Amino acid sequence: MLNAFLDYYRAAIFDIADGLDAEQMNTRLEPSTLTIGGILHHLAVVEEWWFNEVLANNPQSEPWASAPWDEDRDWDFTIAAELDPDTIRQRYQTEIDRSIALEAAAESLEVTSVKERDGEPFSLRWILIHMIEETARHAGHGDLIRESIDGKTASS
């Protein structure tokens, strides 16, 4: 069930971005600075962080590892304006594919991470629930932006 919900929201994000060109992917709904391109790019790095780095304890991969995070804490959002929409979509799909593979390799939902918060590791179950929340939240943001562009939402 956790996978079904996460897959649903991942698909919704792609649906929200479907058919948009670079200008549309960079459309903002004032006063927010969020864009659909930024949301997809951010979700790609979120997938990479939680599954590759936290769950699997792997080093940060590219293009994330060489990103200027110290100079721009929101680099994942802001760089999207300079990227081709297909590059953004591909980065998100690549990270989803890796996340699915890393999850499939886990023995159970109770597998815990090496990385901790407040002395507590994260279980795969916790990571999946968090990813549902994160992806669903941004799908809602994306729906509002997409609706302002052409009236379409993920459910229309």
The pLDDT score that the predictor gives to residue 119 is 86
Q: Average pLDDT of the chain?
A: 95
Of 130, 133, 59, 49, give the one whose Cα is nearest residue 95: 49
Residue spans of the domains in the chain: they are 2-150
The CATH code of domain 2-150 reads 1.20.120.450
Rounded CA-CA distance 71/109 in Å is 36
Full-model pTM: 0.95
Q: Is 123 helix (H, G, I), strand (E, B) or coil?
A: strand
Longest dimension (CA), the chain: 47
CA distance 111 to 55: 8
CA angle (46, 47, 53) in 5-degree steps: 90
Helix (H) or strand (E) holding 116: strand 112-117
- Over range 36-44, report the average pLDDT: 98
Give the number of other Cβ atoms within 10 Å of residue 21's Cβ. Answer: 9
**Which tens digits make up the pLDDT trace of 53-101?**
999 999 999 999 999 999 999 999 999 999 999 999 999 999 999 999 9
Instruction: Please say if the pLDDT value at position 5 is more than 90.
Output: yes
